[in-house]
Amino acid sequence: MDSKEISAFQQQLQDWYGINQRELPWRHTTDPYRIWVSEVMLQQTQVNTVIPYYYRFIERFPEVAGLARARSQAVLKSWEGLGYYARARNLHKAAAVVDSRYGGRVPDDWQDFTALPGVGPYIGAAVLSIAYSHPYAVVDGNVKRVLARVFEDPTPVNGSAGHGAFRRLADSLLDQSRPGIYNQALMEVGALVCKPANPRCADCPINTFCLGNRHGSLDRYPQRNKRKPVPEIRIAAGVIRRNGRVLITRRKPEGLLGGLWEFPGGKIHEGESAETACRREIKEEVGLNIVVDAHLTQVRHAYTHFKIVLEVFLCDHVDGNVRLNGPVDHRWIKIEDIDQYPVPRANLKFIPKLRVKKPEVFNE
């Protein structure tokens, strides 16, 4: 596109956005902190999922200082069920830096802001353009999909080569005078019109510029590298009852589901029964001898790189005191107090069954 076409592209995009943009809670604020929180949540996560979390998080942590001083447990509880918990841990750490080093003001300099934990090129460009009107083009999944179609760009969007290619394209198209509006308009077109499946080209404000639309080649873009098949892992977990309480353990602070609480258990070995694995894992992980009383339920859950089938057992404590090998903390809790602890989604799927069964199950 020449400069005249680029101007028209920018104008049509923003005119459309003025009329068709969704009403979203983070579009009613100019507070850089709130926009930052929204962008962290929106990373890898769809708008409709984020909305209730955003309201609760902002109500609980309305400003940087409060978040900076909060306990890790409280921050994770606010994030419970949203996934990618490193986002919450990094946001928490970053808030402490903003509070202490920048007096609570979110830095508006690229180097300063993107040096914060969890702030990369996307969140950097999004927050600096939307909150501070700095001319950085966002390049997220929506933008890459739209640009791949408009320019029939065969660069795989999920490969490392795509980084520079789509970055250069996005930079060349950015409206330097209104970068925040322009960036949001382009992403909104990706979300509402130029969708992954069944794009609504007739309603698209930039369809006249789009080579994919003109040539009928949309179904070939964006191109992507094949993903690897995900293995399925069987897990046994035990709800260990003792004196009307149950045992939960806390995962180490980093890595998968870092810092969350769960019922102890682990992988079922090849050729091993689920019950045996449950007894073995609990002996190894928390040092307790238990008996398996009943099979409560089976839960299937998909992660990014593997799937699990979780066999959940009701168990009774026989003897031994808790000696942790893996987990970093433990509690004997009343089942109704589980709400106070952040737990993984896979655990949330069977906890309601525990509460319903409480009278018969916790009859000590």
Partner DNA sequence: AACGCGGGGAG
Partner DNA sequence: CTCCCAGCGTT
Catalytic annotation, residues: 39
Q: Which is nearer to DNA, 18 or 196 (CB)?
A: 196
Segment interacting with DNA (CB under 7 A) among 10-18, 134-142, 279-287, 325-333:
134-142
- By DSSP bridging, strand 232-242 and strand 265-267 are antiparallel
Phi, psi for 16 (deg, rounded to 5): -60, -45
Q: Does 123 bind DNA (CB under 7 A)?
A: yes
Q: Does 217 bind DNA (CB under 7 A)?
A: no
Binding mask 266-285 for DNA (x = CB under 7 A): --------------------
Segment interacting with DNA (CB under 7 A) among 7-15, 60-68, 96-104, 223-231:
223-231
Nearest alpha-carbon partner for 281 in 330, 329, 237:
237
Q: Does 146 bind DNA (CB under 7 A)?
A: no
Q: Does 119 bind DNA (CB under 7 A)?
A: yes
Q: Which is nearer to DNA, 190 or 212 (CB)?
A: 190
Among 35, 82, 268, 290, binds DNA (CB under 7 A): 82
Indicate the Cα dihedral angle 123, 124, 125, 126, nearest 10°: 40
Binding mask 322-351 for DNA (x = CB under 7 A): ----------------------xxx-----
Q: Which residues ranging from 28 to 67 are in contact with DNA (CB under 7 A)?
A: 43-46, 48-49
Contacting residues toward DNA, per CB under 7 A? 43-46, 48-49, 81-86, 90, 116-124, 139-142, 144-145, 157-161, 190, 196-198, 224, 227-228, 255-258, 300-305, 344-346
